[in-house]
Structures are given as C-alpha cells and as structure tokens.
Amino acid sequence: MRYKKEIIIIGIITLLVLFLRIINVFQIENGLANPFVMILIIIIFSFITIQIQRNIDHNYQRHKMFYSNLDILKYISSILIIILHLRPFLNISNELDLAFNNIITRICVPIFFIITGYFVAKKEKDNLNYIDHYIKKQFHSILYGVFYI
C-alpha cells in the first residue's frame, strides 16, 4: 500500500480532533466545534505532518542527517511557549485554556532539553571533555546573567 503512512497520519490526527471534541475542548461557544473548522484543522495538521514525514524519509534514503525537522519542532515549541505565557484562550473557554496551557504546551520545555541533550551527547562522542566544557560554559553564562543584569 503506497500511501499507508499518510493514511495512518490522517487517521491519528482525525482521532485526536474527535477526542478534543468529545472532551469539550472544541466547543460551539469557541467556534472550534464547527465541522468545517474541525475538517480544516485535520487537513492543515495532516498536511504539515505528512510533509515532515516525507522529509524524514527522503533524508533517510539519501543517508543524510538533516535537522530541519528539529528546527521546525523548535520553532513550533517556541511559539507554543509564547502562547502559554499569553493565555489567549482564558476568556474564550475554560476547557480550551486548561487543555492548551496544562496539557499541550507543557511538553515544549522538555522538547528543548531533549534536543539539546541529543546534540551534546553527539558532540561528547567526538570530544570526551565536551560535557565538562559545556557545563562550565552554561554555568558561566548563568552567573554572568545573574550578576550583570
């Protein structure tokens, strides 16, 4: 089956959107329960996810390691962290605000730690003293920021 991955991606995103409707995150009051809006959300997120998956598959076939998908993930995570601090859904819906701020955006900071840890561990393979140097550099920048603000 040629489009197996795409069908699985669309199915998972559809189930996620339906789940968000069932638990009342998508409500009539906030406009997200409109069938047209829900279908649009499924299409947009499916398209983005399929493009990322195709990029991963293409790079894997060429035996190249590109990190553009990690850049996309960092970009989306940084936007979600900004939204987390702004709390734009507070006046729209309590359920949407709760789901977005306490469930969806709480994974963004661990994503940054995981990505940073991956690259630090990768550099540690080449230079056995890299982690010591990295920790000292981070500690120095924290001290510099605290005492020179």
Helix axes 35-61, 4-22, angle to 10 degrees: 140
Give the model's confidence band at 149: pLDDT under 50 very low, under 70 low, under 90 confident, else very high.
Answer: low
**Residue 43 has what pLDDT?**
92
95 contact partners, CB below 8 Å, separation of at least 6: 23, 24, 25, 27
Q: Which residue has the tokens 């120095």?
A: 140
Query: Measured between alpha carbons, how far is 43 from 105 in angstroms, rounded to an integer?
Result: 21
- Between 64 and 115, the higher pLDDT residue: 115
Three-state SS for 33?
Answer: coil
Q: What is the per-residue pLDDT across 38-86, written as a single tens digit (0 to 9) for each?
A: 899 899 888 888 887 787 777 777 776 667 777 778 878 888 887 777 7
What is the C-alpha separation between 65 and 52, in angstroms, rounded?
14
In the predicted model, is pLDDT for residue 87 greater than 80? no
Mean residue pLDDT of the chain comes to 79
pTM over 0.85: no
Q: Round to whole Å and give the CA distance between 7 and 142.
A: 47
**For residues 22-42, average pLDDT:** 81
